[in-house]
Chain A
Amino acid sequence: MIEQEPIGEKEQDLPPFVKNWKQFYRLLIGWLVFLILIFYAFTKYFE
């Protein structure tokens, strides 16, 4: 039986679409800022 090299925790822990978790966190913060700006524009436009 050929034993495979165990996948390291860091490698196993990678998120999809981005290189690392830090990038995913930045993406989420960017998304939040975008939403606040969009909602602010919505408020001002329709008030």
Chain B
Amino acid sequence: MSVIDWSVLIITLVVIVAYGVYKSRGAQNIQGYLLGNQSLPWYHVCLSVMATQASAITFLSAPGLAYSSGMSFVQFYLGLPLAMIVLCITFVPIFHRLKVYTAYEYLEQRFDLKTRALTAFLFLIQRGLSTGITIYAPSIILSTILNINTTYTTLFIGSLVIFYTVYGGTKAVSYTQMLQMSIIFCGLFAAGIMVVHLLPGDIGFSRAISIAGKMGRTNAIDFKLDLNNQYTVWTGLIGGFFLQLSYFGTDQSQVGRYLSGASVSQSRLGLLMNGLVKIPMQFLILLIGVLVFAFYQYNRPPIFFNSFELNKLENSKYGPELDKIKVNYDRAFDEKQIEVNKMNAALDADNKALIDQQRTALQLADEKEKGIRLQVTELMLKNDEQANTKDNNYIFLSFVTQYLPKGLIGLLIAIIFLASMGSTASALNSLASTTVIDIYKRLIKKDASDHEYLQASRLATVFWGVVCIVMALYASKIGNLLEAVNILGSYIYGTILGVFLVAFYVKRVNGRAVFFAALLTEAIIVVLGRSELVAYLWLNVIGCLLVVVIALIIQQIINAGSANVERSEGH
């Protein structure tokens, strides 16, 4: 990176952290620290909710996913607007009316302490583990740029987030997120324009998308009903709806964001605007990945996008073998370019038969290139069994650093930092809230002063920050980060959502029934998830429905038992 890029990166980070710290100064009580005194307007809520969900993983993995397998991932978000509506009708007014700090607090009022503790515990596990992955994602950026181990970069990013989250609490999180999202939108817009600008002179935006489309990269919508296909309209609308509802309705990192809204209507408006903007935003991010793919049809892409791992292999005893593979790769690329040019000619002539013929030829050339890249990863594993052979998360990054102009590189790197900092800060803040409100204040020290709880919240933030950093250090062995986070969420979210739905809509079920239903469901979901019988998004639906059904059955048994006892006592 050039001096200009480093300057842009450092200035952006310093300004944002300083702004967050300045705006959140003077948090003297637990209400201000954990809920920001419930004073934020709807646009704050909207941007904060978006920044919490859109981690650095979104900006690293999504373009990489579009590059390697197309845009089908956009369907993952189709259930989000529907989930926002249900949240606005049910969750938001109830949480506001009861003046809770955390979502799990409500469950004690509705059921009992053990159900509150169980859901809080499940949340702490899920969020604690996934935040580790959220910190790891941007740390690979610095690792690639500086060519050093991700351990050091993970420590740097984790410490920066811990600093301002511990200092300013929820307000620092929200104010930094608002600025972060503004810069992110501007940066992505600039990146999209630059990719189109870098295409060959005779290749416009539409032609670039056409070429990528013929190679299967514009598959945004799939109506086929296939339970094993991860991303279809149905998994998105049904599975995605349950996942988003449980994420926004029961995950404290999101609940904490809209609870900081100044009123029910401010929180509602923030969530609904998120429902309007989120899918188009995700579509555009994936489209940037498709454009990068189109760009690499005219410019030779690296044989492996993670330069750190590639350098390791080049300098090993397998270096000469890698050189031979590179020769084949170059030849395959040249052959593919001929097919790309033929496709361009076919498109110019609007000859459908020729287009179909070229589509097959292009897809074969694409498969051949993938096969050669597979040889490289096999060689990497031969050289080092612990090598990270997934390079999806490096694709966009590699493009940015190699082809974008000075200044913009720094800005885009800053964006990835900011996105990660935003979601990590929300997560740490929510982990601290749950630890202090649901565990410490409820189970350990009930009558401490406000100042003590404030100090405990700061300590809890530091504690979870350290836990997440440790988790991040293990994240390098997980393939696609974005999917890993979502899969982990699907194991737990369905169960928690089921508990909340029973709480809201099935008045006749009590705490004992729902508690055991949740335990049983979690065991079934883990077995089902491990067996890979269904796509992971369906686990949310199954988990949620299982809790409701099992709770009803257990309640029926309890009622029947009580009736028998009453009858025998009557005799």
CB of A35 within 8 A of CB of B268, answer: no
CB of A42 within 8 A of CB of B220, answer: yes
Which residues of A sit under 8 angstroms from B212, Cβ to Cβ? 46
Distance between Cα atoms of A19 and B452 in the complex (Å): 46
Which residues of B sit under 8 angstroms from A35, Cβ to Cβ? 279-280, 283
In the complex, residue of chain B having the shortest beta-carbon distance to the beta carbon of A30: B81
Answer whether residue B344 sits at the interface, using C-beta atoms and an 8 A cutoff.
no
CB of A15 within 8 A of CB of B265, answer: yes
CB contact between B81 and one of A31, A40, A43 (< 8 Å): that residue: A31
CB of B265 within 8 A of CB of A28, answer: no
Q: How far is the CB of A40 from chain B (nearest CB, A)?
A: 4
CB of B279 within 8 A of CB of A15, answer: no
Which residues of A sit under 8 angstroms from B269, Cβ to Cβ? 15-16
CB of B218 within 8 A of CB of A24, answer: no
CB of B268 within 8 A of CB of A21, answer: yes
Which residues of A sit under 8 angstroms from B216, Cβ to Cβ? 47
In the complex, residue of chain B having the shortest beta-carbon distance to the beta carbon of A35: B279
CB of A31 within 8 A of CB of B88, answer: no
Answer whether residue A36 sits at the interface, using C-beta atoms and an 8 A cutoff.
yes
CB of A24 within 8 A of CB of B233, answer: no
> Which interface class (under 10, 10 to 19, 20 to 34, 35 or more) fits B?
20 to 34
Decide: A43 near B264, CB < 8 A? Known: A28-B275, A29-B85, A32-B81: no
Answer whether residue B219 sits at the interface, using C-beta atoms and an 8 A cutoff.
yes
Answer whether residue A4 sits at the interface, using C-beta atoms and an 8 A cutoff.
no
Distance between Cα atoms of A46 and B41 in the complex (Å): 41
Which residues of A sit under 8 angstroms from B268, Cβ to Cβ? 15, 21
Interface-central residue, A13, A15, A32, A46, by most chain B CB under 10 Å: A46
Which residues of A sit under 8 angstroms from B279, Cβ to Cβ? 32, 35
In the complex, residue of chain A having the shortest beta-carbon distance to the beta carbon of B359: A47
Decide: A31 near B78, CB < 8 A? Known: A39-B220, A42-B220, A43-B221: no
CB of B264 within 8 A of CB of A13, answer: yes
CB of A36 within 8 A of CB of B209, answer: no
Decide: A25 near B221, CB < 8 A? Known: A39-B74, A46-B213, A47-B214: no
CB contact between B265 and one of A12, A25, A45 (< 8 Å): that residue: A12
CB of A28 within 8 A of CB of B84, answer: yes
Decide: A28 near B220, CB < 8 A? Known: A36-B78, A46-B213, A47-B214: no
CB of A39 within 8 A of CB of B221, answer: yes
Answer whether residue B272 sits at the interface, using C-beta atoms and an 8 A cutoff.
yes
Decide: A46 near B209, CB < 8 A? Known: A25-B88, A29-B81, A35-B279: yes
Decide: A39 near B214, CB < 8 A? Known: A21-B88, A28-B272, A32-B78: no
Answer whether residue B276 sits at the interface, using C-beta atoms and an 8 A cutoff.
yes
Answer whether residue B337 sits at the interface, using C-beta atoms and an 8 A cutoff.
no
Interface flags for B182-219 (1: CB within 8 Å of A; 0: not) read 00000000000000000000000000011011101011
Residues B75-100 near A (CB distance < 8 A): 78, 81-82, 84-85, 88-89
Answer whether residue B263 sits at the interface, using C-beta atoms and an 8 A cutoff.
yes
Interface flags for A5-23 (1: CB within 8 Å of B; 0: not) read 0000000111110000100
Distance between Cα atoms of A13 and B88 in the complex (Å): 12
CB of B218 within 8 A of CB of A14, answer: no
Which residues of B sit under 8 angstroms from A24, Cβ to Cβ? 272
Which residues of A sit under 8 angstroms from B272, Cβ to Cβ? 15, 24-25, 28
CB contact between A47 and one of B89, B219, B263, B283 (< 8 Å): that residue: B219
Which residues of A sit under 8 angstroms from B283, Cβ to Cβ? 35, 39
Distance between Cα atoms of A29 and B276 in the complex (Å): 9
CB of B221 within 8 A of CB of A36, answer: yes
Distance between Cα atoms of A43 and B55 in the complex (Å): 27
Which residues of A sit under 8 angstroms from B265, Cβ to Cβ? 12-15
In the complex, residue of chain A having the shortest beta-carbon distance to the beta carbon of B280: A35
Which residues of B sit under 8 angstroms from A47, Cβ to Cβ? 213-214, 216, 218-219
Decide: A40 near B221, CB < 8 A? Known: A21-B268, A25-B85, A32-B82: yes
Which residues of A sit under 8 angstroms from B220, Cβ to Cβ? 39-40, 42-43
Distance between Cα atoms of A39 and B268 in the complex (Å): 27
Distance between Cα atoms of A46 and B216 in the complex (Å): 9
Which residues of B sit under 8 angstroms from A16, Cβ to Cβ? 269
Which residues of A sit under 8 angstroms from B280, Cβ to Cβ? 35
A-B contact pairs, 11 of them (CB 8 A): A12-B263, A12-B265, A13-B265, A14-B265, A16-B269, A25-B89, A28-B85, A39-B74, A40-B223, A43-B221, A47-B214
Residue ranges of A at the interface with B (Cβ–Cβ < 8 Å):
12-16, 21, 24-25, 28-29, 31-32, 35-36, 39-40, 42-43, 45-47
Going nearest first, the 7 A-B pairs with the smallest beta carbon separation are: A46-B213, A46-B218, A39-B220, A40-B221, A39-B221, A32-B81, A13-B265
